[in-house]
Structure 1
Amino acid sequence: MAAQEADATSLSSHLGPRGDVRMVDVAEKQPTQRRGVAVARVRMRPETASRLARGDTPKGEVLATARIAGIMAAKRTPELIPMCHAIALTHVAIALDVDEAAARVTITASAEATDRTGVEMEAMVAASVAALTLYDMLKGIDREMVVEDVMLVEKSGGRSGHFRRSP
């Protein structure tokens, strides 16, 4: 039984000694400046990308709405992801790059906080929800859009240090 308990805790810090799921205790960790950056892409028909770039879409301010949705989503991450700590975010930014030639939008979300745990999930949730909002607001003209490539591209702060995804 002791071997099973050791195996459970070595698999994940979210597993207790008996394999039960738990929230990680971060009380003893010192707050540090943390940053997470995530990307998501929405692939669409070339006509849809052109209309989006021109602001000629039936539901209005698509890019502004997606930006707001991403920011709001980052703030609600602990309500969506089990065992995720509530973090006092100090900054969230959403950048949307409409690439007409490639017929896609690249969403870059960054989240920052001075806290005891990272903000990677907040950045990833922000990018994902911004992408889903684009889909929702454009589905009336293009139901074949694809949300793809949601990924963490950079994180800094905390014990594990700096990470940057290789191109």
Structure 2
Amino acid sequence: MKTKIILTIIFILPVFMLKAQQTIKSHAQPDSIIKFIPIQTLDTVVYAYTIGGKLATRQEIAFRLMTYAPSAEEYHQFKNNMTWGSISGGAFGISSLASVIAFHNSSKNAVTTMGTVHNNSGAYIFTGIATAFLGSAIINWIYGAKHFKKSIKVYNQRFE
């Protein structure tokens, strides 16, 4: 009799342990899914974001993405890339202006001193720097857009 009780406990105990490990489904509602819809204007396409079929502002989208930890991480990467893209874009503008000024100064001096050798190396250096900053800005903006789309995708996965 004692062995039957022990065997019964041995076979029933794992069932209760497995039942205790089942995950509880999230109480998130499917109407919280973030979708983006293209709106066609005369010459461009503008994207609007909707939550549950209602238009949402950028702040509402950011708030929703920040409330869910996995999408918040992607959203932070998006913000970081956009910040560095803007900084690189500003540096591109400044170095482009510096290269234009350097080219202008070297060409102005070329007219007044016809017989001397003119050096445009400063202008070439600023042009190279401007090109590097432009490439950096474009890369950061592209990766930022990818992280933003991925954050929305990660956010919406919990509703599927």
TM-score by length of 1: 0.30
More relative contact order, 1 or 2 (CA 8 Å, 6+ apart): 1
Q: By percentage of residues, which structure has more strand?
A: 1
